[in-house]
Structure 1
Amino acid sequence: MALKQIMLAKKIEGKEREIENLRNLTKQFEKREKELETAISEAKTEEEQRTIEEEIDKYTKEREAHDNKVTEAEKELEGLREEENELNRGKPGKGESHRNLGRGSEEAKLEEARAGINAYVRSRGQMRDGFTSVDGGALIPEELLTPQMKPEDVVDLRNYVKIVSVNSASGKYPVIAKAGSTMNTVAELAENPELANPEIEEIEYSVQTRRGYIPISQEVIDDADYDVTGLIREEISSQARNTTNKDIAAVLKKATAKEVIGVDGLKDLVNKDIKKVYAVGFYISASLYAELDKLKDKNGRYLLQDSITAASGKQLLGRPVIVLDDDMIGTEAGNLVGFVGDAKAFCAFFDRKRTSVEWIDNQIYGKLLAGIIRYDVEKTDEDAGFYITYKNSAEGN
């Protein structure tokens, strides 16, 4: 049992909890700052101004001390993680001596991580060699999470939104609005022309932790030849996809609501209501897809056309169609709803990239193995699309 690694994991967990508490305090400081700004604008007498100045001095000193605490805590956490990584690299697990040949290769490192995670699972969290720890659990390298094969009809909405890799649990992400501004022609040696100021909005994100139990039997744990990491990869990939799809769809449903009547309504939506700078797609319920799949134009041709690039194999009005379960993009079976617009511009997926497994105490079953993912999904551009409710026109289009 690697006691020093267990102790380091405990210290890291405590330090991460301390930083999270400090960040919560940061939000309180930001709230105080806004309150002071309001007080400054409302101050009318010199006495009120003096009182506010004293509050500002007090706030400034407290904020500087707080920021210094955050910086120091983050440095300490970084040092602990470096120490843990050095310890993991310098101390191979039992029976792993055959990996010393070619240790520097990526394959050897991944194989070491795989064996370490397998040992961690089989020992119910007692053996902690050969992998990086996070929050007391085993961090799974992204390369081990990549599935070997995935059915083509499985929709993963992460492929359609903007992925932003983040290194902290919370923060702000600047988004520049697609205003349609253009560049100016400049003659050689001429002064730079005045350019339109970009509209920048800071999107706040807060990474949340999602846990899901991994069904793993004692027989699998006891079988030394069974690749536990492979089972974990398949289960986490499936649960993660279901969870992220649900959360991304929930954000897409926050788009401006719009009722669309008939095919002409869909054409007006795409051609007039959404700016041309956006790459429009149809993210629709299965019921709406079934409804549109029956429609024909005046020449008797089906409106849904074959597409080799769209996930559904179909396109509508020259745009790709992505089909989702009714209760995911809607609320219940039979909903004729969907998001029409540029999903990548409309929302962002803030990925902490710290997928891990951890043995968690359970009151009924003792210890259960849990897969853990960390991310947040936020709306970034309100103008990038609409959440539509479709109705057939009276003419039957």
Structure 2
Amino acid sequence: MIELTRELRELLAQLNQAKTEVRSMIGQNKVDEADKRMEEVRSLQKKVDLLTQLDTEDRENLGVGGSGAEIGGQKGLESREDAELETEYRGIFLRGVRRQHITADMQSVISEYQRRTVLNEGQTNPAIPDGDLSILVPKDVQTMIHKVSRSLDDLSEFVTVEPVTALSGSRVLENYGTMTPFAVMDEYAPVPEIGGPTFTPVNYKLKDRGGFLPITNNLLQDTDQNLLAYITNWIGRKAVVTRNTLITNLLTTWTKQAMSGLDPIKKVLNVGLDPAISANAVILTNQDGYDWLDTQKDSTGRYLLTDDITQPGRKLFRGRQVIVVANRYLPSEGTTTIKAPMFIGDLKQAIVLFSRMFYELDTTKEGGDAWRRRTTELRAVIRDDIQKWDAESVVFAQVTLS
């Protein structure tokens, strides 16, 4: 089983190399040479398919004919293989970041890791030249990035996040506000028809978003832990700012409703939103809006914002969480008379964030300013898209502050 996996890895590396050469020939208008090279591509692809089929049949035979202990042993073998592959891939990833030599065997490990991580995407990854890196961030490093993101004010936790692998597609979603109740059923009577659900098709097309980070040679020579901590902290913060900007930019496309005082905000929660939506509503505003809410008092002098006893530091208005965004990302309007934006409603019903859920990295010593600065530039790429879902689940209030 282990030898077969290694053989398959080597074949995948050869196949990717051959495909890269064909694309290069086509780019150089060497069509005849590319056509001849394609024969080898087809042959290698057939070998890969056959070996994959044999591997699958071997696993099925072990599962059917073996005892429970044998099946458990096989699962244990697979788990050990996955763990060993993860560890090996992590080491190669760090070599790539440091622009160290990537051997053909290492390239086969990269191909196998990406094949297991990203299934049925219909994409192939080219062979990696010496010192170059264009691969997925290892799972454990991505987990570290997610921990950094969760420690920040990440607005994506308040919207619906839909993980996807295809670069484009659609999802069919049912709005909560359009759901109808079950009908009364009489004994021995036919099941009555009820109003069918209202589904909304939401299309998406992932976009590449990236940025670069100069890394000094001293940092590259530092320990793996320090290097990874530096990279994960940078990517995590960039990812949060990117998602937050996507969400706030989309929210500002809602139609504004001018409001003054607290009563209109209460009316939105009471009758402006469906009761089911209002129960899960939040109030998202900027620093100006939050400062104004935080100073409002009732007739007895008590502040209207209350503390959330389940999470110190979080404020509630009539039981709904108040979310604060920096003024620089969600600015107010006006200079003498300030009008602050407030989005009231269930953001999970309003917005869907389609995410590739993987980070990709490239490094270079020659491109950009890396050569002049004698540094290594690291580029991170994420793929996502954001779309409206249920526009009626959020009200865009522009509140005049007094």
Letter in 2 for 1:186: M
2:319 corresponds to 1:343: no
Aligned to 1:390: 399
Aligned to 1:235: 234
CA distance, structure 1, for counterparts of residue 87 and residue 358 of structure 2: 19
Aligned to 2:161: 163
CA distance, structure 1, for counterparts of residue 275 and residue 284 of structure 2: 18
Which whole-Å deviations, capped at 9, do the CAs of 1:321-372 have from their partners, x for residues lacking one? 1111113233679651121111100001101122111125634324621111
Cα RMSD for the two superposed structures = 3.5
Query: What SS does the aligned partner of 1:326 have?
Result: coil
Whether the aligned pair in 2 keeps the contact of 1:220 and 1:226 (CA below 8 Å) is no
Instruction: Note the C-alpha offset of 1:126.
Output: 4.0
> TM-score w.r.t. structure 2 length?
0.68
Aligned to 2:247: 248
2:236 corresponds to 1:260: no
CA distance, structure 1, for counterparts of residue 149 and residue 16 of structure 2: 41
Question: Percent identity at matched positions?
Answer: 23
Choose from 4, 12, 16 the match for 1:8. Answer: 16
Choose from 362, 369, 394 the match for 2:367. Answer: 362
Alignment of 1:36-47 (within 5 A): none
Aligned to 1:174: 172
CA distance, structure 2, for counterparts of residue 12 and residue 335 of structure 1: 56
Letter in 2 for 1:365: A
CA distance, structure 1, for counterparts of residue 99 and residue 226 of structure 2: 14
Instruction: Note the C-alpha offset of 1:185.
Output: 2.7
Instruction: Note the C-alpha offset of 1:376.
Output: 0.7
2:143 corresponds to 1:146: yes
Instruction: Note the C-alpha offset of 1:310.
Output: 6.2
Aligned to 2:282: 281
Aligned to 1:198: 197
Distance 1:208 1:311, change over 3 A: farther
CA distance, structure 1, for counterparts of residue 308 and residue 184 of structure 2: 39
CA distance, structure 1, for counterparts of residue 210 and residue 260 of structure 2: 41
Which whole-Å deviations, capped at 9, do the CAs of 1:55-97 have from their partners, x for residues lacking one? xxxxxxxxxxxxxxxxxxxxx8xx89x99xx9xxxxxxxxxxx
Gaps of 5+ in 1: 16-75, 87-100
> TM-score w.r.t. structure 1 length?
0.69
Distance 1:390 1:142, change over 3 A: farther
Query: What SS does the aligned partner of 1:387 have?
Result: strand
Whether the aligned pair in 1 keeps the contact of 2:180 and 2:196 (CA below 8 Å) is no
CA distance, structure 2, for counterparts of residue 9 and residue 247 of structure 1: 37
Gaps of 5+ in 2: 1-9, 24-44, 56-76, 115-123, 127-133
Alignment of 1:17-166 (within 5 A): 104=80, 107-123=83-99, 126=102, 128-129=106-107, 130-131=109-110, 132=113, 137-147=134-144, 150=148, 154-166=152-164
